[in-house]
Structure 1
Amino acid sequence: MFKAAIRVNKIKTVAQLRGATLHAERHDEIGKARVREGAVPGEALAWSKAEASDRDYLAAFKAHKAEMQAGERKNAPLAMQALCVVSPEWVQAVGDLHDRDNPRNIALFDQAKAWAESWAGKGAVFGARLDLDEKGGAVVDLMIAPVRNSRAKLVISTQKALVDLKAATGERNEYAALQTSWAEWCRAHLDQNITRGLRRELTGREHLSPETYGQVMDKAREAVQRPAESLLGVLQAVDLSSGETELLRDYLLLRGEISRHREDPRSYAPPKGEVDQEWVASTAPETQDPWKLISAFRKGAEYILTAAQRFGVGLDELRRPDGHEAGRKWFPVLADRLHLGAVVAKCGAFCAHAEAFVKNLQQSDSSRKLYQDQLWPHNATELVARYNRHLGLDFPQHVTTEQKRDRGVSQRQEVVKFDHRSGRTGTTQQRDKDDGWER
């Protein structure tokens, strides 16, 4: 029996459409990295509503709106991206997985588009692609912008289309409805031996970039594979030495940080040390040995760097042009390596911040102020920025100034903060809580 699965992400910004275009055209670093050896980059079955290019999804989206005479709803998604998956073995049963002339590749490509328009509406798909240049296959990438009538106006509404589909399938949530609907369509139009994948929660990510596309693709392929053995059962059956236990401990620690970063990359903060920044600020001026305080402050971040080094994911490896390949043996999924790279970079930046923060508190000469990029690990913020780009994250640098005005005199209180997203130290001007001004 073969399996069918769906993965969906909502597209909320024009920047995401541009990013999807760059990935489809293999202009981004990660898109290039996913091309298998010997393949022609960009080889695919592809179509879009754009006149000039079958992969320019921004142009295709604009053409779609003009064709459908539909507007956008404020603060609503512009479109959704659906990855329609079947077991690769189904395609391979009649030919090569990466052959554009394989009749099953052609049928999968055509039927995925037909399926989406069966519930999203005729003409709802504005882009479709089945990549043939990657190691995997049997995944059709659809760009969908359903149009619905709202107060006598035609508007793009992904939510209404999903609600309608849920009602039609009788499923409890929209994503389960997509899974069921796609499996039933595959059975009816491709092969009666194709069945629905295991019921498991679909990815809840709503931010899609060229790099997270790879993560979604890996999740999609995972959905049609045989369920893994119970981790607990495996551990109970294995006799581990003390060294192996330590290795497993560090591996699981890094896995946990990958998951934590994936859940909310913008708010990720390195693991806590033995003391927090507030305690350091009050203690540093009276501490004779700064390193004892620095080590306690950044202990959690340093441990991550040490653990990552054991698996070949050190800062030096990440700085290489092919840094996203570091640790492939232990972390075969590209998305995991990207998130781990971001974790290591941010922990490195925090280590440099901790040293600068403590030492600056211990000396009063502002001309001798230390900056974190001057300290170990040097220029870690550049690595943070690199992995933010890999993951489609964009963090503008800014300083917020809040002023207290008392009898015409401005008073400012400077507070040092570490931005875990950008890896940089910043200052914020804060007012006293009782200043009486509206915020």
Structure 2
Amino acid sequence: MFKAAIRVNKISTIAQLRGASLHAQRHDETGKARVREDAEPGFGLAWSKAENDRDYLAAFKAHKAELGAGERKGSPLCLQAICVVSPEWVQKAGNLHDPENPHNRQLFDHAKAWAESWGGKGSVIATRLDLDEKGGAVVDVMVSPVRESRGKPVISTNKALQELKQDTGERNEYSALQTSWADWCREHLDAEIVRGTRKEITQRQHLSPETYGAVMDKARESVRAPSKGLWEAIRDTDLSERDAEALSEYLMLKGEVARHKALGASYEPPRGALGLHRVEGDEHTDPWPLIEAVRSGAERVYEAAHGIGMGLLANMNDRYEAGRGLFPSLSDRMHLAAVVAKCGAFMAKVEASVKNLLRPDGVQIEEGMCWPQQAATEVQRHDRNLGLEAPHVREEPQVEREHDLPERVDRGRSHGL
């Protein structure tokens, strides 16, 4: 599974256009620092409406002359859309920094095509895919939409974004861009590309393209760095029985987070001691030993998360603040919240399935009647927040607040229906 994401800057002044040009041409200090040691500065794919493909100011002037467009005082001149996909997708077809890599060429061409799909034909004034940096799979697109106002063509980024928001059914312009870009990538580049994490969920402060690039470089290095001494530290540490058990549960949760990141929507909770297909008995059989045997793997994860304050109720909002001390990464907390919800939904499903199997002639129980009742709804919400479901036009979910929930009972262990 690969991710698609968008970062946007509104360019409102000529000075900003000139600064973006200097960075693209590697004349500024930040641009020079971004270049790899073995790379030629400015190496990559680039196009613009100007003679110099990296002169955005000249491209903007050519754009205005071509369309005869005017400007609104105080309104943005153009948008700098930073179109991103997972570098691993580019590497599927070759070297990340190879201009002949077909995935690099497809990404470069489709970023421009996508921007013009909502900005309008001819709205893109320049594009570039830098191949001289450590990272890759990032296309800068400068788009300056033109709309008619009182019979005259006028640059209007706001009107173009409003139209896009209506088309996607999203609540704000940024989300509309994210959804539109992910849908375009999935349709034209690879069906395995999904939407990245939503901004209203991450609550991150917006970074400039230069700062974002530097941060991404450090992130890549830290991700690829081996975890030296981890096992030695565990081996040489004296742990009490209680501490060892806590460490075991923590590592188990870390493992489930990693597995959910890898599998996404295909994730399934850990297996129990008994497979559901092996359940046997009749209406006189106590269902609970069988239920607990089938869902023992999922229940262990569910209870371990609850024990550290990251249970189902703790994550019934879009802030994902619970568990920050043990899981500093927001991404890890989001994935763990999804794991907990999916384990809870599996537990409810097992309870209903086992009871229905033992009493085929009785009243059949629905999964929504079994504890935890809210899990299935939470699965959908967390998957949507993680971009595992394509967010199109939808109604706002009615999320129950913790104080509205019924008191937790003994998990329905009534030994009957």
Shift of 1:220: 7.6
Query: The residue matched to 1:123 in structure 2 has which SS?
Result: coil
* Contact 1:86-1:224 within 8 A present in 2 as well: no
TM-score after normalising by structure 1: 0.48
Shift of 1:216: 3.7
Alignment CA distance shift 1:9-1:195 (3 Å): same
1:40 alignment counterpart: 40
Q: 1:3 and 1:60, CA in 2 relative to 1: closer, same or farther beyond 3 A?
A: same
Distance 1:147 1:225, change over 3 A: farther
Structure 2 residue matching 1:72: 3-state secondary structure: coil
Partner of 1:18: 18
Counterpart in the other structure of 1:197: 196
CA contact (8 A) 1:44 1:132 kept: yes
* Runs (5+) with no aligned partner, structure 1: 228-237, 240-439
> Does the 8 Å CA contact 1:85/1:220 hold for their aligned counterparts?
no
Sort the Cα spacing of 1:102 and 1:71 in 2 relative to 1 into closer, same or farther, 3 A: same
Residue 119 of structure 2 corresponds to 120
CA apart distance, 1:116 = 0.2
SS at match of 2:47: strand
* C-alpha displacement of 1:213: 2.6
Contact 2:34–2:214 under 8 Å retained in 1: no
Q: Which residue of 1 aligns with 2:61?
A: 62
- What is residue 214 of structure 1 aligned with on the other side? 210
Counterpart in the other structure of 1:4: 4
Rounded Cα–Cα distance in structure 2 between residues aligned with 1:219 and 1:84:
16
- Report the equivalent of 2:149: 150
State whether residues 10 and 79 of structure 1, in contact with CA within 8 Å, keep that contact through their aligned partners in structure 2.
yes
Instruction: Give me the whole-angstrom Cα distance separating, in 2, the residues matched to 1:162 and 1:219.
Output: 28
Percent of aligned pairs with the same amino acid: 68
Q: Distance in 2 between matches of 1:87 and 1:75?
A: 35
Cα offset, 1:38, TM superposition: 0.4
Rounded to whole Å, the distance in 2 between the matches of 1:71 and 1:198 is 36
Q: Determine the structure 2 residue equivalent to 1:360.
A: none
Contact persistence 1:146–1:156 (CA under 8 A): yes
Change in CA separation of 1:103 and 1:121 when aligned onto 2, cut-off 3 Å: same
Checking the alignment, whether the CA contact within 8 Å between 2:48 and 2:56 is kept in structure 1 is yes
SS at match of 1:195: strand
Pairwise mapping of residues 136-285 of structure 1 onto structure 2 (< 5 A)?
136-201=135-200, 212-217=208-213
**Alpha-carbon separation, structure 2, partners of 1:125 and 1:69:** 15
User: What amino acid sits opposite 1:33 in the alignment?
Assistant: A
- 3-state secondary structure, aligned to 2:58: helix
- Aligned partners of 1:96 and 1:134: how far apart in 2? 13
Describe the superposition over 1:181-207 as per-residue Cα deviations: whole angstroms up to 9, x where unpaired.
0000000000000000011248775xx
Cα distance in 2 between the residues matched to 1:146 and 1:221: 32
> Using the alignment, how far apart are the partners of 1:120 and 1:68 within structure 2?
14
- How many residues matched? 224
Q: 1:72 to 1:55 in 2, by over 3 A?
A: same
Q: Deviations over 1:318-358 (max 9, x none)?
A: xxxxxxxxxxxxxxxxxxxxxxxxxxxxxxxxxxxxxxxxx
SS of the residue corresponding to residue 141 of structure 1 reads strand
Answer yes or no: is the 8 Å Cα contact 1:197–1:224 preserved in 2: no
Alignment of 1:353-368 (within 5 A): none
Alpha-carbon separation, structure 2, partners of 1:191 and 1:15: 38
C-alpha spacing 1:195/1:131, structure 2 compared with 1 (3 Å)? same
In the aligned structure 2, how far is the partner of 1:223 from the partner of 1:170? 33
User: How far did residue 226 of structure 1 move?
Assistant: 13
- Measure, in 2, the Cα distance between the counterparts of 1:6 and 1:221: 17
- Using the TM superposition, give the Cα deviation of residue 225 of structure 1 relative to its aligned residue in structure 2, in angstroms: 12
What CA distance in whole angstroms lies between the structure 2 residues aligned with 1:186 and 1:225?
A: 26
User: Once the 2 structures are TM-superposed, how far is the Cα of residue 167 of structure 1 from its aligned partner?
Assistant: 0.1
- Alignment check: 8 A CA contact 1:125 1:142 kept: yes
Q: Which whole-Å deviations, capped at 9, do the CAs of 1:159-197 have from their partners, x for residues lacking one?
A: 000000000000000000000000000000000000000
Rounded Cα–Cα distance in structure 2 between residues aligned with 1:134 and 1:35: 5
Deviations 1:97-144 (A, max 9, x none): 000000000000000000000000000000000000000000000001
The residue correspondences of 1:45-124 to structure 2 (distance < 5 A) are: 45-51=45-51, 53-124=52-123
Q: 1:84 to 1:220 in 2, by over 3 A?
A: farther
Query: C-alpha separation between the residues in 1 aligned to 2:122 and 2:27?
Result: 28
Q: Which amino acid aligns with 1:24?
A: A
> 1: CA distance between counterparts of 2:139 and 2:64?
22
Distance in 1 separating the partners of 2:219 and 2:4: 8
- State the TM-score, normalizing by the size of structure 2: 0.51
Distance 1:110 1:223 in 2: 27
Aligned partner of residue 100 in structure 1, secondary structure? coil
CA contact (8 A) 1:108 1:140 kept: yes
The separation in 1 between residues aligned to 2:185 and 2:98, in whole angstroms, is 20
- 3-state SS of paired residue (2:122): coil
Are the equivalent residues in 2 in contact too, given 1:85–1:221 (CA < 8 A)? no
C-alpha distance in 2 between matches for 1:121 and 1:226: 40
- Say which SS state the counterpart of residue 42 (structure 1) adopts: coil
User: 1:220-274 CA distances to partner (integer Å, 9 max, x unpaired)?
Assistant: 88999999xxxxxxxxxx99xxxxxxxxxxxxxxxxxxxxxxxxxxxxxxxxxxx
1:151/1:178 CA distance change after superposition, 3 Å: same
After superposition, the Cα gap between the structure-2 partners of 1:72 and 1:224, relative to the gap in structure 1 and judged at 3 Å, is: farther
> What one-letter code is carried by the residue in structure 1 that aligns with 2:54?
R
Q: Which residue of 1 aligns with 2:278?
A: none
| Structure 1 letter corresponding to 2:28 | D
What CA deviation, in whole Å up to 9, does each residue of 1:50-89 have, x standing for no partner? 02x0000000000000111100001101111000000000
Using a 3 Å threshold, how does the CA distance of structure 1 residues 150 and 221 change in structure 2: closer, same or farther?
farther
1:6-28, Cα deviation, whole Å (9 max, x unpaired): 00000011011111111111011
What residue identity is the alignment partner of 1:182? W
Secondary structure, aligned partner of 2:199 = coil
Q: Which runs of 4+ in 1 moved over 2 A?
A: 200-205, 216-227
